Amino acid sequence: MGPLTLHTQGPVYLDANGFIYSVERVEPYRTLLEPMWRQARTGEFDVVSSDITVLETLVKPLREGDEVVETLLRSMFDAHEVGLIPATRELWEDAARIRANTGLKTPDALHAATALQTRCTLFISNDTDFRRVAGLSVVILDDLVEAEA
């Protein structure tokens, strides 16, 4: 498995799947993301995400009545090293442009717009569709896993 190389000059954007992998301890992704969380806790950089991540990550634990995962996700969102960026009208308009140009689904277009607006130095996901967004420095976790194989 290749390492996740992090830039310390600016925020790192984490897509919803990264939060799920971390909280639910999904391997090998949890192992890839753990150094990022350690560095964020020491203040080397901030982890940011759109506040739509709350919706995306809580649906499954709420549906399944998994209060442990629900509580862990809420705690992660409240942690000082995680910044949830509110979806403003400007972000929605940027997301609409991204969606028009790339065909991304609405939530993903909002993620991309949020990352670009907050000048994230890295966008961590497991969704290769984000590679279609100009100016977004995307790292796909599966690519790091495949690098090891």
1, part of any domain? no
44, part of any domain? yes
Rounded to two decimals, the pTM is: 0.92
Buried b (16+ CB within 10 A) or exposed e, 5-24: ebeeeebbbbbbbbbbbbbb
pLDDT of res. 140 = 95
4, part of any domain? no
pLDDT tens-place string over residues 57-104: 999 999 999 999 999 999 999 988 899 999 999 999 999 999 999 999
**Using a CB cutoff of 8 Å and minimum separation of 24, what contacts does 90-96 make?**
90/117, 91/50, 91/117
pLDDT of res. 45 = 86
- Asked if 111 and 117 touch (Cβ cutoff 8 Å), the reply is no
Tell me the angle at which helices 89-102 and 106-117 cross, rounded to the nearest 10 degrees: 120
Domain holding 75: CATH number?
3.40.50.1010
5, part of any domain? no
Structural domain span for residue 120 = 12-148
7, part of any domain? no
2, part of any domain? no
How many domains in the chain? 1
What integer is the mean pLDDT of 132-145? 94
41, part of any domain? yes
94, part of any domain? yes
